[in-house]
């Protein structure tokens, strides 16, 4: 779940975003999308990503602590292994309103300069519902699928001196166990953010790009103002350069998602999400969130947007 606030309520949250970050990103805007460190690369394959989404949905409801989520973990690790990536299982115990729940973040690292890290993140758990079967095709099948496809594309790029180290992070426990609150939500991202803070690694993060609910056939990304302003501006420019000037909603909003624990620690963050899901938002957290609502083209569009942003930040 993502608890929405709207534009006028959150201007204060943007005060920490420094002019230095804005100037840095402005200087990067001349880079060509999909040309990391001077090389070209294939873009995202929407059909391949869609196949991952179908596989995730095939496991059924996947709430934190469930056998189904563990089965999905094995699938994710196997697919990342095919790309030659080693998967770190970051296990922890979440203290929830329903008691302790074992959770696991999955992290795959694409080699590069560790002082210039880029984190590509999303959650892979689904919210638990007793009253209906919730398979979460878009929330969070789409983010699971796109991260796997991004790992495939990025792992095949030729390493260049100075390229950033890229982390592909699958967060457990994004969904609230009960009602959404600061303590009942975002378990996996809160855990990783606090661990990186303890280890002194936050300053190495050039950007965290979070994806969530990005498979909707009727794709329209939120102009999400809990994101760092300079990164959001960069995303809009990259989308326009890729032929999608209409990709972002023109009505600003702000959402709480897995980027928030890092934003609170002054890490530059970007949240890519289409929160308007179905007529009058009718498919979100309902049994209507099924695979027929997703489109390969939407996964391809958001994936290539992420690649374009990564390329600019890698200059």
| 58: Cβ contacts below 8 Å, ≥ 6 apart | none
Alpha-carbon torsion 273, 305, 259, 70, what sign? positive
pLDDT value at residue 251? 87
Cα separation of 252 and 4, whole Å?
11
Model's pTM, two decimal places? 0.90
pLDDT value at residue 22? 43
pLDDT value at residue 131? 96
| Region of 210 on the Ramachandran plot (φ > 0 left; ψ -120 to 50 alpha; else beta) | beta
Distances (CA, A) of 47 to 50, 215, 294, 298: 5, 12, 11, 10
Residue with tokens 């973990």: 73
Residue with tokens 């300069």: 113
Q: Is 239 helix (H, G, I), strand (E, B) or coil?
A: helix
Phi/psi of residue 106, nearest 5 degrees: -115, 130
C-alpha neighbours within 13 Å on the C-beta side of residue 195: 10
Q: Which helix (H) or strand (E) holds 118?
A: strand 113-123
Query: All domains of the chain, ordered by start, with CATH?
Result: 4-313 (3.40.630.10)
Averaged pLDDT, groups of 10, the chain, 315 residues long: 43 36 42 40 90 98 98 98 98 97 98 96 98 98 98 90 94 97 98 98 98 97 97 98 96 95 98 96 97 98 98 94
Decide the pairing of beta strands 99-110 and 164-171.
antiparallel
pLDDT value at residue 2? 58
Question: Angle 229-241/296-313 helices, nearest 10 degrees?
Answer: 120
Distances (CA, A) of 302 to 31, 124, 142, 193, 204: 18, 17, 11, 24, 25
Q: Is 105 helix (H, G, I), strand (E, B) or coil?
A: strand
260, exposed or middle or buried, with CB in 10 Å at 0-12, 13-18, 19+?
A: buried
């Amino acid at each position: 779940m993502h608890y929405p606030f709207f534009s006028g309520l959150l201007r204060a949250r943007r005060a920490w975003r420094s002019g230095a970050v804005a100037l840095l990103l402005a200087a990067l805007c001349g880079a060509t999308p999909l040309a990391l460190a001077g090389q070209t690369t294939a873009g995202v394959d929407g059909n391949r990503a869609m196949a991952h989404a179908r596989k995730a949905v095939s496991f059924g409801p996947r709430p934190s602590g469930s056998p189904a989520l563990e089965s999905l973990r094995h699938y994710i690790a196997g697919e990342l292994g095919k790309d030659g990536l080693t998967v770190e299982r970051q296990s922890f115990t979440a203290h929830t309103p329903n008691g302790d729940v074992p959770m696991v973040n999955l992290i795959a690292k694409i080699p590069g300069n560790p002082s210039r890290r880029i984190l590509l993140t999303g959650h892979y758990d689904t919210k638990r519902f007793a009253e209906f079967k919730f398979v979460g095709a878009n929330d969070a099948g789409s983010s699971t699928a796109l991260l796997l496809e991004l790992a495939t594309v990025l792992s095949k790029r030729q390493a260049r001196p100075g390229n950033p180290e890229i982390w592909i992070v699958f967060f457990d426990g994004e969904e609230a166990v009960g009602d959404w609150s600061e303590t009942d939500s975002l378990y996996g991202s809160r855990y990783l953010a606090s661990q990186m803070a303890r280890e002194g690694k936050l300053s190495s993060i050039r950007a965290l790009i979070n994806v969530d609910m990005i498979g909707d056939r009727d794709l329209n990304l939120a102009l999400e103002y809990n994101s760092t302003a300079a990164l959001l501006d960069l995303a809009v420019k990259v989308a326009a350069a890729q032929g999608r000037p209409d990709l972002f909603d023109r009505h600003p909003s702000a959402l709480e998602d897995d980027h928030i624990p890092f934003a609170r620690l002054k890490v530059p963050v970007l949240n890519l999400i289409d929160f308007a899901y179905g007529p009058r938002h009718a498919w979100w957290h309902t049994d209507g969130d099924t695979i027929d609502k997703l489109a390969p083209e939407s996964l391809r569009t958001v994936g290539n947007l992420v690649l374009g942003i990564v390329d600019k930040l890698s200059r």
